[in-house]
Chains A and B, each alone.
Chain A
Amino acid sequence: MRMPLPFEQTARTSADRAIHRVAKAWGIALVLLASESGAWAAETQRILPKEWNYLDVGKLPVLITLLLFGAFYLYLYRETKVGRPMRLRRLPGIDAIEEAIARATEMGRPVLFIPGINDIDDIQTLAGINILSHVAYIAAEYDTPLIVACRRSVVLTISEEVVKAASLAAGRPENYIPNNMRYLSDDQFAFTAGVNGIMLRERPASCIYQGCFYSESLTLAETGSMSGAIQVAGTANVAQLPFFVAACDFTLIGEEFFAASAYLSRDPSVVASIEAADRLKMVYLIVILVGVALATAVNLFPSPTLMTYLQLLKEIF
């Protein structure tokens, strides 16, 4: 039979009492359960005071994450702005883009870019278009034609503007060729067939897929590989990654795809957000490790204090 005991009765040290006070202030009451065998378990009861009605304690971890991220971001943004060196890991996939365009230049063939198959409201499409700007700039520098194939009309319009601006920035506005900006079809497989047609007819030397892709990923990547093109892919759709990895020369995996924007732009705000997210992940990694250690310790050496800490950790994160 388990007997609930209010935490105040079990708190033995001043540290325990301090933790209890903090927990209470957040509307959490810690209750320890003692069994007849002497083993301890703990549970929390939410005792939300009236004046705390605006706070959903159930979403406390989200709030803490947001605050931590915000703090990291602001700190890193300020530091990066005043000249702290940016620390971004080399992304072979992004470095390979220039090599892919150079290959197309030597071969006298165009570069094909596909900004995914989703509309502009998808964050992956936006990330893909950011990379398109970089690709268009390099293609203009090398004086190599760039073909952009889109599934959505809005994406096409934005891509046109991006390529136009990048060509102008590279000092070669003539490298923007309106006929090379192509809307194929809103239908997924009609679009895929259209892209495959471009690959086989115009034989681009490099195919770059950056955005959201679904089942067409393998068809596209396989056709590109068969046509002898260097291929660089990037998507956050985990299910499509194995196909891209197997059929492409380089693949930006998951978050690398979003980090590519920071890598390319070197914009302090984007770099700071990437680094802040990384630091947040570090914090969570440490919390997980501490949690595992605490849970193991509670199991091995049952103690009300350790149980309290573990329960509190669970509540906060």
Chain B
Amino acid sequence: MARGEAPTTVEAPFDDVTVGVANAVRELEEVTGRRLLDEAGRLIRPARQGEGVDAYVSTSSAGGGLQMLVMGVVRSMTAESAQRAALGAGAIVMDTICSNDRRLLYQQIQRIRQLRPDMILLAGGIDGGTVTHVAKLAELVRAARPTARLGTGYRLPLVYAGNRQAREVVREILNGLVDIHEVENVRPVLEVENLGPARDAIHELFMEHVMAQAPGYDKLKTMTDAPIMPTPGAVGKLVEVVAREKGISVLGVDIGGATTDVFSVFQGKFNRTVSANLGMSYSVGNVLTSAGFDNVARWSWVDLPAVEVRNRVKNKIIRPTTIPHLLEDLVIEQALAREALRLSLEQHKEFATTLKGVQIRRTVADAFAQTSSGQTLVNMMELDLIIGSGGVLSHAPRREQAALMMIDAFEPLGVTQLAVDSIFMMPHLGVLGEIAPEAAMEVFWRDCLVPIGAVVAPAGRVKTGRLLLKARVERDDGSVEELDLVGGELVRVELREGMHARLTLQPARGLNVGEGRGRRCERRVWGGKVGIVFDGRGRPIQLPMDAAQRRQKLLQWAQAIGAFGQ
């Protein structure tokens, strides 16, 4: 597995993305010693006698990725479904306009004008449902006369994924103003969500309209063996395939400089959210503001005055491409990362829900437990695998630090495997999966994922010093280890990469590790750079109130899993 990278050439003086692609491929040639480009700088395809490639795939996030405006009738129903379709296709949702967004008409029109999206997704009404509300939304677009962000002289693409009966009306209102593409309704009935057709249309239009406006993309399109996809869309596709093939629940997170993407598959349902203002460089100031100083400081085991922490965060905002040089910088960065990840997951939980507005069948037994629709799908006990991606996780000085960051931020319950994306290969594997799914899966498990290990965390009331769990670890090589996990402790058990182990867990009364309270649980886990982490810190993690004691405890935990060496 080799990697080559080169700066983008989408802007002047090159104005051609393929120049950058050729530069990156040349680097690959140097690394692998295999000739991939011909004299004219084109990829040699198909592969022949030790040179060239069999397939070339590409993803794009040029110009900030695909930016979309989403419209729907009710925020929590068709607008939310439309948002899910756009996010699932890898778009950044700039705004969601709906009948109940509490903005006045002129404000909505003004907003559409200001945004200059790459594409609009208009949904609303079930099939045979409201036409008037959809017509009103179309009239807003008409009044705003939006223009595209990239290129001139072409009409803004609008995907219509709403009430079938309103198609004619929408066509009449928007005729000649935007390029309308009609697809099946995202909510044909309120009880069903149908996101596939809208997502496919967005991918198609991304290629046809949006990418066509970017310099050099017409050439790039001819080079690829599968359609170019927005980068987050490709990651989402891969996460979805992994979850489906293995029959597991997956949580993927990509923490970038400006945004954090969270992907999840629970109960077979894929969801993606973009936390637009939570990132580790450009948005790091916002992480501090959103989480609050105290929440960030609680993860730092170095004693730094508040002003010092703030100064370091501001330095990062001013120089976003710098990396930590001192241990204190690293501790602060990882504290910020924990909070960014925690907040992103919170936002994701609110978005990844069951459908709202569906009829519920009840019995008299439900009298005192009337759960409403729109419950979150994210169930940390059900979660099988967490995949971390992004510099702060993938390139942490030690994998133990990445493990600790993910455990602290996501607070998994029961038995959960941890892994990080080695060199941000997931987007490419997502596209490769379209033409060679088996190859994509093999590369994903063998080279893309860096297994970190597993975490075992009992759920329930945890008291410091109380016995929480009796565990027996039977490794494939025949070695056996037994341990008692006590409240407030973090214990690491070695399980090397490539090895598997069978865990037999007997939780104390009232605690649950996946089979119910006090019930014995057996799981098979794979090892990794860290092995198995037994987390007895409770959920939410109980940190001492006193600052000195808290620092002491954090250091103790970090040492327990060797996050900063001994």
List residues of A whose CB falls within 8 A of some B CB. 92-93, 95-96, 99-100, 102-103, 105-109, 141-143, 225, 228-230, 241-242, 245-251, 253
Contacts and interface: CB of A to CB of B under 8 A. Distances in A.
Given A143-B133, A230-B359, A103 B77 contact: yes
B370 A99 contact: no
B181 to A, nearest CB: 22
The B contact surface, by secondary structure, is loop
Contacts of A96: 372
B108 to A, nearest CB: 14
B367 A249 contact: no
A106 B187 contact: yes
A208 B481 CA distance: 60
B359 A253 contact: no
B175 interface: no
B362 A102 contact: no
B77 A106 contact: yes
Given A106-B187, A246-B362, A142 B129 contact: no
Residue among B128, B190, B357, B372 with the most chain A CB within 10 A?
B357
Contacts of A143: 99, 132-133
A95 to B, nearest CB: 6
A105 B133 contact: yes
Contacts of A228: 359
A246 B77 contact: no
A106 B371 contact: no
Contacts of B132: 108, 143
B76 interface: yes
B377 interface: no
A250 B130 contact: no
Given A105-B99, A253-B367, A99 B187 contact: no
Interface residues of B, number: 34
B125 A106 contact: yes
A95 B190 CA distance: 18
B356 to A, nearest CB: 6
Given A107-B126, A107-B129, A250-B372, A245 B366 contact: yes
The 10 closest A-B pairs by CB, nearest first: A108-B130, A103-B357, A102-B74, A108-B129, A249-B360, A107-B129, A245-B367, A92-B370, A92-B372, A242-B364
A110 to B, nearest CB: 11
Given A105-B130, A105-B133, A108-B125, A99 B357 contact: yes
B124 to A, nearest CB: 8
6 contacts: A96-B372, A105-B133, A106-B357, A107-B126, A108-B131, A245-B362
Contact of B363 (A92, A142, A246): A246
B362 A249 contact: yes
Contacts of B371: 92
A99 to B, nearest CB: 6
Given A230-B359, A246-B363, A102 B130 contact: no
B78 interface: yes
B373 A142 contact: no
Contacts of B77: 102-103, 106
B74 A251 contact: no
B73 interface: yes
Nearest to A96: B372
Nearest to B72: A106
B372 to A, nearest CB: 5
B370 A93 contact: yes
Contacts of B370: 92-93, 250-251
Given A248-B362, A251-B370, 10 more contacts: A92-B372, A102-B100, A103-B190, A105-B73, A106-B73, A107-B190, A108-B130, A225-B359, A245-B366, A253-B368
A142 B364 contact: no
Contacts of A100: 357
Contacts of B76: 99, 102
Contact of B126 (A106, A246, A247, A250): A106
A142 B130 CA distance: 12
A244 to B, nearest CB: 9
A142 B372 CA distance: 21
B74 A106 contact: yes
B359 A249 contact: yes
Interface in B367-387: 367-368, 370-374
A228 B125 CA distance: 16
A96 B357 CA distance: 9
